[in-house]
Amino acid sequence: MPNPIHLSRPKRTPPKSMDEGEKSQSEIFTAQFENLDHVREFVGQAARSSGLNDAAVYAVQLAVDEAFSNIIEHAYNGECEEKIECTCQIMASGLVITLRDCGKPFDPTAIPDPDLDVELENRDIGGLGLYFIRNLMDEVSFSFALEADSGKQCNVLRMIKRG
């Protein structure tokens, strides 16, 4: 049996329409689940513009849905009139999506991965959202930022998806 031929991967070049730091869009949504459609559409069009394929676009939409839902549930303790800002930036390195909220400070290290090997009866229902975000996106980071006007501490979630 002959050895399989290992072809070297072609060097990835960014789509011609992208420039580093260009194409940044921001939108502010209120913390309501009915806005999930709008947020998904907003990031979906940025994802398509950045040249991501269908599967990657879906992954971005799902990750953002999970993050947005988590912010409503945990940062704001439920639906309310508070704001969540979503920014999409198309960089040469990939699509960068940032979600920002000024709710309860979020500590991602406090959330364990769900146990996937446990049988049905003992499967925990929570913890899936963050797990999805981490697995669907290439880079995920959490940080804090101080809001200039109010002095409030805000959560900043930054996610990157590469084609």
Interface positions, 108-127, toward another protein (CB under 8 A) = 114, 116-117, 120-121, 123, 125-126
Q: Does 45 bind another protein (CB under 8 A)?
A: no
3-class SS of residue 60: helix
Beta bridge partners of 156: 100, 143
Residue window 133-152: x/- pattern of binding to another protein, with contact defined by CB under 8 A? --xx----------------
Phi (first) and psi of residue 87, to 5 degrees: -120, 135
The per-type count for the chain, helices as H runs and strands as E runs, is 3, 5
Q: Does 81 bind another protein (CB under 8 A)?
A: no
Q: Does 69 bind another protein (CB under 8 A)?
A: yes
**Nearest approach, Cβ of residue 115 and another protein (Å):** 9
**Nearest approach, Cβ of residue 96 and another protein (Å):** 21
